[in-house]
Amino acid sequence: MDTLNTGVRNVKNVANYIIGKDSFLDLRNILLERIGNDSEKVVFFIDIYFYNSHLLEEIKLDFPNTNIIPVDSTTEPTTSAIDAVIERMKLEEMKPEVLVAIGGGCTLDTCKAVSNLWTNGGQASQYQGWDLVKKPGLYKIAVPTISGTGAEATRTCVMTNTETGLKLGMNSDFTVFDYVVMDPELTSTVPRQQFFYTGMDAYIHCIESIRGNFRNPIGDSFSEQTLQLCRDVFNSSNMKSDDARSKLMVASYLGGCAIATSYVGLIHPLSAGLSVVLGIHHCEANCIAMRAVEEFYPEEYREFWGMVEKQKIHIRSGVTSELNRLKMDELYDAMIVHEKPLYNALGEDFNDILTKEKVFELYRRM
Ligand code: NAD
Ligand code: ZN
- pLDDT tens-digit profile of 7-56? 677 789 999 999 999 999 999 999 999 999 899 999 999 999 998 899 99
**Which residue's CA is minimally distant from atom 43 of ligand 1?**
149
Q: Comparing C-alpha atoms, which of 289, 298, 297 is closest to residue 365?
A: 289
Residue 1 in this model has a pLDDT that exceeds 60: no
Largest CA distance in the chain: 61
Q: How far apart are the first and last CA of the chain?
A: 35
pLDDT on residue 6: 67
List all residues whose CB is within 6 A of at least one atom of ligand 1: 47-49, 73, 76-77, 103-107, 109, 145-146, 148-151, 154, 156-158, 186-187, 189-190, 194, 198, 201, 281-283
Please give the distance, rounded to the nearest whole angstrom, from the Cα atom of residue 59 to the centre of ligand 1: 21
Q: Comparing C-alpha atoms, which of 116, 202, 99 is closest to residue 157?
A: 116
Nearest-ligand number for the alpha carbon of 109? 1
pLDDT on residue 10: 79
Please give the distance, rounded to the nearest whole angstrom, from the Cα atom of residue 352 to the centre of ligand 1: 35
Please give the distance, rounded to the nearest whole angstrom, from the Cα atom of residue 199 to the centre of ligand 1: 10
Please give the distance, rounded to the nearest whole angstrom, from the Cα atom of residue 282 to the centre of ligand 2: 7
Pocket test residue of 283, 284, 338 for ligand 1, highest count of atoms within 8 A of CB? 283
- Domain spanning 193-364, CATH class: mainly alpha
Q: Could you give phi then psi for residue 115, rounded to 5 degrees?
A: -60, -45
pLDDT on residue 167: 87
Task: Please say whether the beta carbons of 275 and 285 come within 8 A.
Answer: yes
Distances from the Cα of 345 to the Cα of 212, 268, 308, angstroms: 5, 11, 24
Read off the pTM.
Answer: 0.97
Dist CA 303 CA 150 (whole Å): 21
CATH fold, domain 16-189, is Rossmann fold (3.40.50)
Please give the distance, rounded to the nearest whole angstrom, from the Cα atom of residue 109 to the centre of ligand 1: 9
Please give the distance, rounded to the nearest whole angstrom, from the Cα atom of residue 34 to the centre of ligand 2: 32
pLDDT on residue 9: 73
Do 16-189 and 193-364 show the same overall fold?
A: no
Task: Please say whether the beta carbons of 205 and 290 come within 8 A.
Answer: no
pLDDT on residue 179: 98
Task: Please say whether the beta carbons of 208 and 222 come within 8 A.
Answer: no
Dist CA 318 CA 286 (whole Å): 15
Nearest-ligand number for the alpha carbon of 341? 2
The domain segmentation of the chain, as residue ranges, is 16-189, 193-364
Q: Which atom of ligand 1 is nearest to the CA of 158?
A: 34
Q: Which atom of ligand 1 is nearest to the CA of 187?
A: 18
Q: What share of the chain is helix, strand, coil (3-state, %, to 5)?
A: 55, 10, 35
Mean pLDDT, the chain, rounded, equals 95
Dist CA 94 CA 90 (whole Å): 6
Percent of the chain with pLDDT over 90: 91
Nearest-ligand number for the alpha carbon of 203? 2
Dist CA 27 CA 273 (whole Å): 38
**DSSP string for 116-174:** HHHHH-S-GGGG-EES---S---EEEEEESS-SS-TTT-S----EETTTTEE--EESGG
